[in-house]
Amino acid sequence: MPDSDVIIIGAGVAGLTCGCLLARKGLNVAIFEKNPKVGGCCSSFEKEGFSFDLSVQSLGECQEGGRIWDLLKGLNLLERIRFIPLEPAREYHFPDQKIVQSSRIETHIETLSRLFPGERKGIEQVYYVLRKIFDEFSRIPPSFNWFDPSSFSSQYPFLSRYRDKTFQGLLDEYLFSPFLKMILSVRSSYALLPPEEISVAGMAGIEISYFNHGVSCVQGRVEELPIKLGEAFEKMKGKIFLQREVEKILMDNKKAIGIRLNGGQEFTGEVIVSNIDARKTFTGLLGEDEIPSGFRSKLKGMRPSLSYFILYLGVDMTLEELPVSNNEVFTDYAFSEEYQALYENRIPGQAPFYLIAPSRVNPSHAPEGKGTLCLSMKAPYHFSKAWDQEVIDRLSQDLIGRASTLIPDLKKRILVKAETTPKTIEKWTGNCWGAAYGWAQVPEQSGVHRPQRTTPVPNLFLTGHWTSPGGGIAAVVASGELTAEAIWSKFEGGGF
Ligand SMILES: Cc1cc2nc3c(=O)[nH]c(=O)nc-3n(C[C@H](O)[C@H](O)[C@H](O)COP(=O)(O)OP(=O)(O)OC[C@H]3O[C@@H](n4cnc5c(N)ncnc54)[C@H](O)[C@@H]3O)c2cc1C
């Protein structure tokens, strides 16, 4: 008898979601996590009385009827975790004008149509296509075999039509104004890709999961979400082993049968689920000989998403007087130059940056009379070899200087400072190069082309942002649910 029905490697939000749903079915599930706490990217930390969310700042699908809301309801957690709706969702600051994005799709379309009256039909059409793709994608069965999509185009006409297209292609199909296209493209920067590279499917995931059920922050610390999922999992007799790094997936007769920890201890399971970096799963934990050569070369040619440099500040002011809302993007008009620099491992001068004032929404993040700020910019992992203090200070000064145009005397008011580099993210999550969203959502790594949750190795499944549908909390919750569904249907059908 194996030690567990299901072994999950990694306690990210996807691993926890998958674990909860399988434990609720009565399966015996064990999660092994290398860190001292659950959550992966969805984590928080404290410094000198201030609280900071490491990376995740806002989430889609958390209001009534949304995917995350439904998951929490099903696990009886709705009373134990609160969400704060964000309205507006964001403000985009171009050098000479500001665009406010509502978290409601109808309001957003109306605002844009008023600004560009001749383009109303085109704007509506773009969102119609995104919605259709999102809906079709949500209907794909959990164990969809993307190698043999015989009736694909009739069942999923929009996914089929746009599966190799970029968002820029969709914009060019329906819109004329270059500035309007640019406004609609700012959100692709949240997948760390320009509109000419991000797939329509990837963009549909980001955009519609936000608009469908509002944009929210978790009340208190964002890590309350994985912590509560972990508690629900343990209540259903699931076991979480913290500070246990998996170094090997054990195989027998070409099937995954268990794991070995870096201390040498072995555990067996009927099913193994990997919630970690997919390349590591297949080439590190498994070994290249265990996977078919075609799959191996596909993996080799794939690229991870970019990463971030983040500066967290505890400041001696409440930030109530800040002339902006909570969630700002300061951008310019030169998207392609920016990405060209990032791909050459440079951070362009005057790079677009993001400004968030979390304590304005979550006052508990700062002591009375004080506030928190989170300033960030896209950063390539290879920008610096060591990411030493000198590099960190240079980038921090740049961000502080630019935020000072909005917050006079910012430098003098800083009480606490902490930074996250791509290397920090890599170390904490195990995601190579500090990838923020798993594989980059380019057409050949997106939608039906993304590595699926079922793998070429029998009894080995994937969950999380390295598989389908992709990155972001709402998407990895979807992934956790779909992986659980695929596994459960096999248990139910006597497949194990
Ligand atoms: C800077 C940044 C900002 C972001 N902002 C947002 C946002 O505002 N909104 C949003 O929705 N999404 C955001 N995201 C994306 C989102 O956080 C991720 O897509 C999501 O959390 C990934 O979840 P996951 O479960 O797939 O994996 P992860 O969170 O990566 O979890 C994987 C887990 O596996 C563990 N692990 C790794 N290797 C091993 C091993 N060998 N043995 C055992 N355990 C192991 C890790 O420690 C980790 O806990 C952001 C990401 C980053 C990095």
**pLDDT tens-digit map of 17-64:** 999 999 999 999 999 999 999 999 999 999 999 999 999 999 999 999
* Nearest residue by C-alpha to atom 45 in ligand 1: 10
The tokens describing 404, both together, are 């000072």
* Centre of ligand 1 from the C-alpha of residue 120, in Å: 37
Burial of 437 (0-12, 13-18, 19+ CB in 10 A): buried
* Nearest residue by C-alpha to atom 53 in ligand 1: 436
With CA atoms as reference, report the closest residue to 208 among 34, 320, 342, 60. 60
* Nearest residue by C-alpha to atom 1 in ligand 1: 55
Instruction: Find out whether the beta carbon of 240 lies less than 6 Å from any atom of ligand 1.
Output: no
211 and 103 in contact (C-beta within 8 Å)? yes
How far apart CA 75 and CA 237 sit, in angstroms, is: 14
What is the phi/psi pair of residue 321, to 5°? -85, 0
How far apart CA 375 and CA 313 sit, in angstroms, is: 8
How far apart CA 75 and CA 484 sit, in angstroms, is: 14
* Per-residue pLDDT, 291: 93
How far apart CA 354 and CA 366 sit, in angstroms, is: 20
Instruction: Find out whether the beta carbon of 365 lies less than 6 Å from any atom of ligand 1.
Output: no
With CA atoms as reference, report the closest residue to 14 among 212, 199, 278, 262. 278
CA distances to 219, 353, 358, 429, 473 from 222, in Å: 7, 22, 11, 16, 11
Q: Which residue has the tokens 């798993």?
A: 438
239 and 31 in contact (C-beta within 8 Å)? yes
What fold is seen in the domain 4-82+219-303+438-492? FAD/NAD(P)-binding domain (3.50.50)
Instruction: Find out whether the beta carbon of 274 lies less than 6 Å from any atom of ligand 1.
Output: no
198 and 166 in contact (C-beta within 8 Å)? yes
Instruction: Find out whether the beta carbon of 218 lies less than 6 Å from any atom of ligand 1.
Output: no
Question: Which positions ≥6 away from 3 have C-beta within 8 Å?
Answer: 30, 258, 267, 268, 269
Instruction: Find out whether the beta carbon of 90 lies less than 6 Å from any atom of ligand 1.
Output: no
Amino acid at residue number 332: D
What is the phi/psi pair of residue 77, to 5°? -110, 0
* Per-residue pLDDT, 232: 98
* Per-residue pLDDT, 326: 67
* Nearest residue by C-alpha to atom 34 in ligand 1: 10
282 sits in the region (left: phi over 0; alpha: psi -120 to 50; else beta) called alpha
Tell me how many degrees the CA angle 245-248-249 measures, rounded to the nearest 5.
Answer: 115
How far apart CA 161 and CA 164 sit, in angstroms, is: 8
Q: What is the DSSP string of 289-351?
A: GGS-HHHHHHHHT--B--EEEEEEEEESS--TT-SS-SEEEE--S-HHHHHHHHHTT---TT-
Strand ranges in 26-126 using DSSP code E only, listed in sequence order: 29-32, 44-47, 50-53, 59-60, 83-85, 90-94, 97-101
* Centre of ligand 1 from the C-alpha of residue 237, in Å: 24
Instruction: Kindly report the number of other CB atoms within 10 A of residue 165's CB atom.
Output: 16
Show the low-confidence residues of the chain (pLDDT under 70): 143-150, 324-327, 332-333
The tokens describing 45, both together, are 């930390």
* Per-residue pLDDT, 148: 57
Q: Which atom of ligand 1 is nearest to the CA of 245?
A: 42
Amino acid at residue number 113: S
With CA atoms as reference, report the closest residue to 230 among 18, 65, 52. 18
* Per-residue pLDDT, 260: 98
The tokens describing 213, both together, are 């059920």
Instruction: Find out whether the beta carbon of 197 lies less than 6 Å from any atom of ligand 1.
Output: no
306 and 437 in contact (C-beta within 8 Å)? no
DSSP H helices, 193-264, are 200-212, 224-235
Q: At what angle do helices 473-492 and 13-24 cross, to 10 degrees?
A: 30
* Centre of ligand 1 from the C-alpha of residue 397, in Å: 27
How far apart CA 172 and CA 133 sit, in angstroms, is: 17
How far apart CA 330 and CA 176 sit, in angstroms, is: 24
* Centre of ligand 1 from the C-alpha of residue 40, in Å: 4
Instruction: Find out whether the beta carbon of 483 lies less than 6 Å from any atom of ligand 1.
Output: no
| Secondary structure class of 241 (helix, strand, coil) | strand
The tokens describing 394, both together, are 């240079």
Cis peptide before 348 (omega within 30 of 0): no
DSSP assigned state of 113: H
Question: Which positions ≥6 away from 166 have C-beta within 8 Å?
Answer: 195, 196, 197, 198, 199, 200, 442, 443
Q: Which atom of ligand 1 is nearest to the CA of 14?
A: 25
* Per-residue pLDDT, 149: 63
For the stretch 181-232, pLDDT in tens is: 999 998 898 899 999 999 999 999 999 988 888 899 999 999 999 999 999 9
Q: Which residue has the tokens 């600004």?
A: 115
134 and 128 in contact (C-beta within 8 Å)? no
How far apart CA 279 and CA 302 sit, in angstroms, is: 9
* Per-residue pLDDT, 91: 85
